Amino acid sequence: MKKLLILILALAMISSAFVGCSAKATTDIGIVLPTKEEPRWVQDEARFNALLESSDYSAEILFSQGDPAKEKQNVETLLSKGIKVLIITPQDGKAAGAAVEAAKAEGVTVISYDRLVTDTDAVDYYATFNSVSVGEAQAQYLVDSLKGETKQNLYLYAGAATDNNAFLFFEGAWNVLQPKIADGTFVVKNSSKAVEYKDVAVLDRTQMSEIIGQITTDWKPEVAKAKAESHITAAPPSGKTFILAPNDGTARTLYDQYSKEPGLEIYITGQDAEKPSIQYVIDGKQNMTVLKDVRDLVKGALGIAIDVLDGNAVETNGSYDNGKINVPAKDIAVITVTQDNVKETIIDSGYYDASEFTGLK
């Protein structure tokens, strides 16, 4: 009896040791996202988790909460878990250089996700939406809302100067707006630098930095609100008011602020198709948003990661200059969403469920 017990015990120990061995001891893919404070990135997390469910590779997602130091720590944590691929959205494109260089030094493949890590050669791939076309779509909406009038009030806002995307979005917007600013169709009310450069069709990085320096929201709704307050005081809007808002989070605050002024007819852009902004579009508050289908971006980034892990060649369809090298990219198209097509682009496409909104027609 005693012998039998010992035998059972020994078998149990062997089998538990075996289970311990066969369980994934390491993490294959490390994913670092910038912040949980914006619905945009929480959605990326959810879409990653949904796709990872059907993958044989293990992954872990960490958030940096807007702090480059925390981001570096996150990368170190993931490296200690033996990751082979790092997917990272930098909080600050340049500051993230050190973190990705540390990963590269350990033989990890680095994929910049949505935002480009700049000024380093330690980035292997870039999975991104076509950000220039996002800015172009926003500006095109404003231009298409003109009814032949001239001298229309235009207020410009941009993203964070530490985010390379802010430059790409602005470049796209400028491509479309500049001729209309130069010919007097639009009058920029809140950036002396944009006025100074109104005849420059293609801005260089320094000129763009000067404009963005004046109109940055830092991607923070509270900064957008404070800027709007001071712009409204300094150059009071009246009648038709055109607002280039860089993303949905800032668009909603900017709309809320400008709409306090009596008698305005506001035309305002956005991007990300965040749920609260879809509701704003349905309600006729925010006029447009740009659907950057996160399912496609996640599929693109994980597709690269899995090709690398499987030892397959990675297919790319673009390339982006990060200040040091040209990074091969998976470049993903975007869709303009307005009140007219919100049902078809957002609901019928299965992006969100109709039950999450009110007033849908």
Binding residues for ligand BGC, per CB under 6 A?
38, 40, 114-115, 159, 163, 165, 219, 247, 271-272
Nearer to ligand BGC, 110 or 308 (CB): 110
Report the C-alpha gap between 127 and 115 in whole angstroms.
8
Nearer to ligand BGC, 253 or 271 (CB): 271
Q: How far is the CB of 272 from ligand BGC (least distance, A)?
A: 5
User: Of the candidates 319, 333, 3, which has an alpha carbon nearest to the alpha carbon of residue 136?
Assistant: 333
Report the C-alpha gap between 93 and 226 in whole angstroms.
25
Nearer to ligand BGC, 178 or 247 (CB): 247
Cα 72 from chain centroid (whole Å): 19
Report the C-alpha gap between 42 and 35 in whole angstroms.
8
What sign does the dihedral 149-152-184-166 (CA atoms) show? negative
Q: How far is the CB of 249 from ligand BGC (least distance, A)?
A: 6
Q: How far is the CB of 311 from ligand BGC (least distance, A)?
A: 31
Nearer to ligand BGC, 30 or 34 (CB): 34
Report the alpha-carbon angle 174-176-177, nearest 5: 65
Cα dist. 208→118, 131, 299 in Å? 17, 15, 32
Antiparallel, parallel or unpaired: β 318-321 and 326-332: antiparallel
The 10 Å Cβ neighbour count of residue 259 is 13
Nearer to ligand BGC, 40 or 198 (CB): 40
Report the C-alpha gap between 304 and 315 in whole angstroms.
8
Q: How far is the CB of 77 from ligand BGC (least distance, A)?
A: 22
Q: How far is the CB of 271 from ligand BGC (least distance, A)?
A: 6
Q: Which amino acid is at 167?
A: F
Nearer to ligand BGC, 165 or 345 (CB): 165
Q: How far is the CB of 335 from ligand BGC (least distance, A)?
A: 14
What sign does the dihedral 352-353-356-361 (CA atoms) show? positive
Q: For residues 134 and 292, is the Cβ–Cβ distance under 8 A? A: yes
Nearer to ligand BGC, 97 or 159 (CB): 159
Q: How far is the CB of 88 from ligand BGC (least distance, A)?
A: 12
Q: How far is the CB of 301 from ligand BGC (least distance, A)?
A: 13
Q: For residues 163 and 333, is the Cβ–Cβ distance under 8 A? A: no
Report the C-alpha gap between 129 and 133 in whole angstroms.
9
Closest residue to ligand BGC, judged by C-beta, is 247
Q: How far is the CB of 246 from ligand BGC (least distance, A)?
A: 7
Nearer to ligand BGC, 84 or 115 (CB): 115
Nearer to ligand BGC, 165 or 322 (CB): 165
The 10 Å Cβ neighbour count of residue 303 is 16
Nearer to ligand BGC, 155 or 219 (CB): 219
Report the C-alpha gap between 254 and 287 in whole angstroms.
12
Stated as kind and residue range, the H or E segment containing 298 is helix 294-310
Q: How far is the CB of 147 from ligand BGC (least distance, A)?
A: 30
Strands of the sheet with 152-156, listed across from one edge? 186-188, 152-156, 240-244, 265-268
